[in-house]
Structure 1
Amino acid sequence: MATRLLDFPPLVLRRGRELECGKAGRKGGRFGRVRASRGRIRCCCSDPVVPARRTKSAEKAEDMWRFDPQKVPPGPRVRVHATPSRPFSSPPSHFVSRQEKFSPRCTPRGSGPQSRDTPPKRDTGIANEKDWGINLLNEHVNESGTNEDGSAWYRESGEDLGDNGYRCRWTRMGGRSHDGSSEWKETWWEKSDWSGYKELGVEKSGRNAEGDSWWETWNEVLYQDEWSNLARIERSAQKQAKSGTENAGWYEKWWEKYDAKGWTEKGAHKYGRLNEQSWWEKWGEHYDGRGSVLKWTDKWAETELGTKWGDKWEEKFFAGIGSRQGETWHVSPSGERWWRTWGEEHFGNGKVHKYGKSTTGESWDIVVDEETCYEAEPHYGWADVVGDSTQLLSIQPRERPPGVFPNLDFGSIPSPPLEDSPDSPSQ
């Protein structure tokens, strides 16, 4: 029997042992390995009391629209399951992987660029330089043509110069089908100036014959922090897609920031909709480079019928002392509310205070002997991002004339704003 989307919630609460110690995490190893810490502080997986709500339909749902539990440290986990196997209904040929559809980013002069009628995928994070394959043309071109199937293409490149040694090298290309039902555009660039600022980036957009549309951008930046005088590297990605046949779409923004002394910040903001269901997710990680760590997440979802549910948690640790706390909640269409809160206090001496309660009358308040586990350092840090940023570091600035010094106005470097999102539903 077919199961309607509303027969199971997109958020499925899971127990806390999905991340076994030592398992690989996100692509690229950013959060994959588990390191042993000093003393009694080591990696383990807590198992707080949380409800489990699962259906066979949810188990079979595809990865495209679900939250990845491997991005979540110990604590209640929440997943989204509400999608077909592809992001939108369209021929499979439009949704093969980037590896299967890979073609050289800059083909030889005189031949047209290959069509890239492929939307981005959700929950893929920030790709590395080698995955984007940025290959700027060394000569200025401005050309266009028509392929045998009637589709048109264009390609152009150039260089923009400005004050303080600013230089931007760019390449832009695109095309459209013979009937105009599909089109695509890509722009790649590298920027630099005499202050040591360097930037590498890509922007892509398009739509296909089914009416699906998408846009994504990726960039990484190197500059000197004006307060600490330390070198910093920041990476970010934004992606969005919209269905042409359903009331469906998604948006996500990812960011990572690193400095040469180990300070690291990572986070993501996501939103999705599939017909009558909508969901949001936010998470962040902050490492100060001296052993202090803060991690948090907030996820919630709702349907047009008025059902709402979600989960959030936070953990703070330093030198084996810290806390975890969280809340899981649900609101029915009739307004009936259920919630459960939980918390842990780690004293650094092998004792852990665990407490919690819920609207069903359950409660607990105990002290147990338990080793404290948390990650004091990011698994993907400064040394890793430097090693993966060879193209960014190799950008050559304009030659500076003798006696000319850069204007170190770091405050003028803009940061792309986060897209506004609705607040979490009130409990």
Structure 2
Amino acid sequence: MAASSGGFATQLEFKLFTLHVYHGLAPSKRILCDRLTMLSRVSCCCSDSVVQIRRASGSGKSNEKTEDWRFDSKKSPHRVRVQASPAMPFTSAQSRFPSKQEKFYPRCTSRNSGPQPRDTPPKRDTGIANEKDWDISLLNENVNESGTNEDGSMWYRESGEDLGENGYRCRWTRMGGKSHDGSSEWKETWWEKSDWSGYKELGVEKSGRNAEGDSWWETWQEVLHQDEWSNLARIERSAQKQAKSGTENAGWYEKWWENYDAKGWTEKGAHKYGRLNEQSWWEKWGEHYDGGGSVLKWTDKWAETELGTKWGDKWEEKFFAGIGARQGETWHVSPSSERWSRTWGEEHFGNGKVHKYGKSTSGESWDIVVDEETYYEAEPHYGWADVVGDSSQLLTIQPRERPPGVCPNLDFGSSQRQDDDEPDVPPSSQ
């Protein structure tokens, strides 16, 4: 998948999966494994009459739409109804900076011989793009040049090569520019790295800000190396993205990663955070395939407002050869600290029988066995063959020529593991 789920506040969204549960009955809808593309309807209990949360959804495309989440407890003392109202924008600043990309990211230089920003800033929920989408083109010679455009904006472009031990080589190109008064600027750095152990890396970092103080930053890289435990070839891809408003308390941060090896072992995940004035939300999800049919997937999402309303949803599933289990929880906390939750579970025995059970703090409960086909994905839809096919520029990186009789240092180092502790707020622009 270049992205497992698919520009600034126009895409602030909090996706959950759909769970239908009625008093005394088991969930009536099959819960699909790939819940990342499903929206949720959360039923929960709260004491406040109406808490309204608005969101915009979409993938940075022109057909953006918005939804209005209304938690209404007047209809039932134990349930909350979630309604979707189309064409409802964010109440704050949707018309100012988030909805107009050309204002958030103005071009800093006029069209002449100087370098131009060639891409748009990062968008939410775009995942890890393939290398061809980054259009990385390193200069073959050392360059150090700069200039001034007709409008007074300035630009620079430079490139070089760094050498180190064990055949290390890093070829890089940097470019950037700023407006005549320095109120807006942009930077880009591309690089490719290699050494005699077979390590290869391709990456890019981009950042910018405008006169209103809006800022953005993103970095992407893919790495080819030999796994220190299995000696298998391994490709790791990662991306970090963020954007912040300079005029209001709004911003988002995302961290994505994908790891693959030649035997089919695959690991994917993402950590996300966003805020729009009084509303904040978080999301974490992961997938792990061992290459032999065993799969683990999980998601944890939650949100809150400054009024004290909080809600969330999480689930996990483990399967192998048709046998496995799913479990999850949906919860809500009102401004008066009243908590409602519903927990559920499924045991799949591999013989067409499924044990479903669950309960809620409002008195619901069920415990039944039904005849139901078990559905899950034992293999990633984007795996080793796919990532190799999409990494041609990485694979063709040429290392330095090794002198005769010189052996490379085969200390590959520890494989990078993603840190579960993410910042509570988007990091400052770099």
Rounded to whole Å, the distance in 1 between the matches of 2:105 and 2:179 is 19
Of 232-241 and 87-96, the range deviating more from structure 2:
87-96
Rounded to whole Å, the distance in 2 between the matches of 1:364 and 1:114 is 61
Rounded to whole Å, the distance in 1 between the matches of 2:54 and 2:103 is 26
Tell me if 1:180 matches 2:219. no
User: Structure 1 residues 147 and 213 mapped into 2: Cα distance closer, same or farther (>3 Å)?
Assistant: same
Give 5+ residue unaligned stretches, structure 2.
1-11, 21-28, 65-81, 426-430
Give 5+ residue unaligned stretches, structure 1.
1-8, 33-44, 67-77
Q: Deviations over 1:273-332 (max 9, x none)?
A: 111111100000000000000000000111111111100000000000000000000000
Indicate the residue corresponding to 2:43 in structure 1: 51
Rounded to whole Å, the distance in 1 between the matches of 2:328 and 2:355 is 14
Rounded to whole Å, the distance in 2 between the matches of 1:221 and 1:171 is 18
Tell me if 1:63 matches 2:65. no
* Match for residue 301 of structure 1 among 300, 303, 316: 303
Shift of 1:149: 1.0
User: Structure 1 residues 223 and 159 mapped into 2: Cα distance closer, same or farther (>3 Å)?
Assistant: same
* Match for residue 361 of structure 1 among 358, 363, 368: 363
Counterpart contact for 2:171–2:192, Cα < 8 Å: yes
User: Structure 1 residues 293 and 415 mapped into 2: Cα distance closer, same or farther (>3 Å)?
Assistant: closer
Rounded to whole Å, the distance in 1 between the matches of 2:83 and 2:383 is 27
Counterpart contact for 1:300–1:310, Cα < 8 Å: yes
User: Structure 1 residues 178 and 296 mapped into 2: Cα distance closer, same or farther (>3 Å)?
Assistant: same
Alignment of 1:329-408 (within 5 A): 329-408=331-410
Counterpart contact for 2:17–2:40, Cα < 8 Å: no
Indicate the residue corresponding to 2:245 in structure 1: 243
Shift of 1:119: 3.0
Counterpart contact for 1:86–1:95, Cα < 8 Å: no
Q: Deviations over 1:210-266 (max 9, x none)?
A: 210111000000000111010000000000111011100110000000000000000
Indicate the residue corresponding to 1:15 in structure 2: 18
Shift of 1:85: 5.3
Indicate the residue corresponding to 1:155 in structure 2: 157
Shift of 1:62: 3.6
Indicate the residue corresponding to 2:23 in structure 1: none
Seq. identity, %: 78
Indicate the residue corresponding to 2:7 in structure 1: none
User: Structure 1 residues 298 and 367 mapped into 2: Cα distance closer, same or farther (>3 Å)?
Assistant: same
Counterpart contact for 1:64–1:85, Cα < 8 Å: no
- RMSD (CA atoms): 3.6
Matched AA of 2:392: T
TM-score normalised by the chain length of structure 1? 0.78
SS in 2 for 1:61: strand
Q: Deviations over 1:162-206 (max 9, x none)?
A: 000000000000000111110000000000000000000000111
Rounded to whole Å, the distance in 2 between the matches of 1:116 and 1:318 is 45
Rounded to whole Å, the distance in 1 between the matches of 2:169 and 2:230 is 26
User: Structure 1 residues 120 and 396 mapped into 2: Cα distance closer, same or farther (>3 Å)?
Assistant: same
Alignment of 1:227-306 (within 5 A): 227-306=229-308
Rounded to whole Å, the distance in 2 between the matches of 1:416 and 1:321 is 29
Rounded to whole Å, the distance in 2 between the matches of 1:245 and 1:127 is 29
SS in 2 for 1:339: strand
User: Structure 1 residues 235 and 206 mapped into 2: Cα distance closer, same or farther (>3 Å)?
Assistant: same
Shift of 1:13: 5.9
Indicate the residue corresponding to 1:315 in structure 2: 317
Matched AA of 1:322: G
Counterpart contact for 1:129–1:391, Cα < 8 Å: yes
Rounded to whole Å, the distance in 1 between the matches of 2:16 and 2:237 is 31
Shift of 1:360: 0.9
Shift of 1:209: 1.6
Rounded to whole Å, the distance in 2 between the matches of 1:60 and 1:333 is 20
Counterpart contact for 1:117–1:207, Cα < 8 Å: no
Tell me if 1:113 matches 2:115. yes
Tell me if 1:206 matches 2:208. yes
Counterpart contact for 1:64–1:87, Cα < 8 Å: no
User: Structure 1 residues 186 and 138 mapped into 2: Cα distance closer, same or farther (>3 Å)?
Assistant: same
Shift of 1:95: 5.6
SS in 2 for 1:398: coil
Rounded to whole Å, the distance in 1 between the matches of 2:40 and 2:170 is 52
* Match for residue 170 of structure 1 among 144, 152, 172: 172
Rounded to whole Å, the distance in 2 between the matches of 1:403 and 1:63 is 57
Counterpart contact for 2:13–2:56, Cα < 8 Å: no
TM-score normalised by the chain length of structure 2? 0.78
User: Structure 1 residues 261 and 175 mapped into 2: Cα distance closer, same or farther (>3 Å)?
Assistant: same
Rounded to whole Å, the distance in 1 between the matches of 2:255 and 2:189 is 19
Q: Deviations over 1:3-53 (max 9, x none)?
A: xxxxxx975766359xx99x9x99xxxx99xxxxxxxxxxxx9x9996289
Rounded to whole Å, the distance in 1 between the matches of 2:216 and 2:40 is 39
